[in-house]
Amino acid sequence: MATASVSIRLLAFDIDGTLTDATTWWGGEPRGWLQRYSVRDGEALLRMKAAGLHVLPLSRNRTASAAERMGGLGLDARWLGVRDKGASLRQIQGEYQVDAAAIAFVGDGPDDAEVFGKVGLGMAVADAHPEALAAAHVVLAARGGERVIEEVELRLSDRWPPVVKGARA
């Protein structure tokens, strides 16, 4: 999968404000904090994984709902609940034997801005924090929780913007 002459081998993504709209609900004692995820984003993650791309979360989120969602998708969830995304990114590079230039990262917060500078392709959601927007290589059209990963899949496969039948040029 490529975009703008960059060959991406690994996609890492933040969860809160990226896969979700950053809203949480308290579900009570055994459930804890709950979040809403797009099935279409999950399907896009699975398609990219099936196409040979390494796909994994890199997030400070340590909720049971995030762990359950990532586990349900069969993603490597070792980098959920991290404190230092830069150090975790170095661990990921070593684990997956991938150069930073071959990594795409999707995020929304000030801590993601630092990661954008350490990867080949840093993508911020449309409603990201100003620091993330300024540091990103690409600002996505989608807002957090609004099928961000589906847009990333289209961009990485050079199918962005999508062609809509019957649309006027």
Please state, in angstroms and rounded to a whole number, the distance separating the CA atoms of residues 47 and 22. Answer: 24
Residue 53's domain is classified under what CATH number? Answer: 3.40.50.1000
In a domain, 100, yes or no: yes
* Total domains, the chain: 1
CA distance 26 to 90: 33
Reported as a single tens digit per residue, the pLDDT across 37-67 is: 888 999 999 999 999 999 999 999 988 889 9
Reported as a single tens digit per residue, the pLDDT across 73-92 is 999 999 999 999 999 999 99
- pLDDT tens digits, one per residue of 2-22: 344 459 999 999 999 999 887
Give pLDDT, residue 49. Answer: 97
Structural domain harbouring 127: 2-156
pTM for this model (two decimals): 0.89
Q: How big is the chain, counted in residues?
A: 169
Answer yes or no: is 166 within a domain.
no
Q: What is the pLDDT of residue 21?
A: 83
Model confidence over 112-167: pLDDT tens digits? 999 999 999 999 999 999 999 999 999 999 999 999 999 999 999 998 888 777 76
pLDDT over 60 at 25, yes or no? yes
